[in-house]
Homo-oligomer: A and B are copies of this chain.
Amino acid sequence: MSISDDLYNSLNNERVFNIIAGPCAIESEEQINKEASFLNSMGIKFLRGGTFKARTAPESFQGLAADGVRMLSRVGNSFNMHTISEAQDTSQLEILVQHLDIIQVGARSMHNYALLEAIGRTDKPVILKRGFGSTVTEWINAANYIHRQGNSRIIMCERGIRTFSDSSRFTLDLAAVIRVRELTPWPVIVDPSHAAGIKNMVIPLAMASRAAGADGLMVEVHHDPENAMSDGAQSLNHNDFKTLIDRLNLINDNRQIY
């Protein structure tokens, strides 16, 4: 079995509740080192960080790109953590595949079929986020674009949908987690940070996700959220993250967290 299969199997393990954590954007090697050091001390094995960060508004911070990818790789290796970053275009795929362990497809790229097919031709595990305007049927169809090219190492990630509600930035659709776990062979994780939009909702939504049966979480963590270059409002600081893990351990579903 390949390294990718080993990695995917560890993500698709019914006795484990996997946590993927890290900053929204990699800002410097010092910063990602700080986050990794902390997360590693907490037993976390999956380190995420944004590198190619085209944002909703073109004037926002756009990420460190290839430099960020290499920083993430170096830091991940030094802590023996698996690394994840997002591809937003086929042209970014080569460097991500060369240096990192898992490729992420963001919600805004869920319908980018050229990208899905290109990832389908690699052997890397892929985290496929649900488009915030997309149905479950469309989400599974997007996964099939990857699968048809030969790569079935797919992790589905629910991150909230667009609704009229004024309760949070997006509305977390936990019923979709339940449905996709019934309808597909793939694990389904939840990103409570983007759904919530604000920090104080991340922990209760993370708890709800585990309780609803999600296979894991992807959470934004920053050692100093108030000075983060992106998504500070929804990032947990290190103390918050400890609280998250403590709280998650209150759910006795016989799954180990790491």
Instruction: Chain B residues near A207: list those with CB within 8 A.
Output: 211-213
Instruction: Chain B residues near A205: list those with CB within 8 A.
Output: 174-175, 178, 212
Smallest CB–CB gap between A222 and chain B, Å? 21
In the assembly, what is the distance between CA of A57 and CA of B208, in Å?
Answer: 31
In the assembly, what is the distance between CA of A242 and CA of B55, in Å?
Answer: 43
Smallest CB–CB gap between A182 and chain B, Å? 8
Smallest CB–CB gap between A12 and chain B, Å? 19
In the assembly, what is the distance between CA of A210 and CA of B250, in Å?
Answer: 12
Interface code A149-181, partner B: CB below 8 Å = 1, 0 otherwise? 000000000000111111110011111101100
Interface code A56-99, partner B: CB below 8 Å = 1, 0 otherwise? 11100000000000000000000000000000111110000000
Given A58-B144, A167-B175, A251-B211, are A111 and B108 also a contact pair (CB < 8 Å)? yes
Question: How many copies of this chain sit in the oligomeric assembly?
Answer: 4
Instruction: Chain B residues near A137: list those with CB within 8 A.
Output: 166
Instruction: Chain B residues near A57: list those with CB within 8 A.
Output: 141, 144
Asked if A114 lies at the interface with its beta carbon under 8 angstroms from chain B, I say yes
In the assembly, what is the distance between CA of A165 and CA of B160, in Å?
Answer: 11
Instruction: Chain B residues near A131: list those with CB within 8 A.
Output: 133
Given A114-B88, A131-B133, are A165 and B174 also a contact pair (CB < 8 Å)? no
In the assembly, what is the distance between CA of A195 and CA of B148, in Å?
Answer: 29
Given A91-B114, A204-B211, A211-B211, are A176 and B172 also a contact pair (CB < 8 Å)? no
Asked if A14 lies at the interface with its beta carbon under 8 angstroms from chain B, I say no
In the assembly, what is the distance between CA of A250 and CA of B211, in Å?
Answer: 9
In the assembly, what is the distance between CA of A253 and CA of B203, in Å?
Answer: 14
Instruction: Chain B residues near A251: list those with CB within 8 A.
Output: 211, 250-252
Instruction: Chain B residues near A132: list those with CB within 8 A.
Output: 133
Nearest 6 A-B pairs (CB), nearest first?
A: A133-B133, A108-B111, A54-B113, A89-B114, A168-B175, A211-B211
Residues of A within 8 A of B (CB): 54-58, 88-92, 108-109, 111-115, 131-138, 141, 144-145, 148, 161-168, 171-176, 178-179, 182, 195-196, 200-201, 204-205, 207-213, 250-253
Q: A133-B162, A204-B213 are in contact. List 8 more A-B contacts (CB 8 A).
A: A58-B141, A112-B112, A135-B165, A136-B166, A163-B171, A163-B173, A174-B208, A205-B212
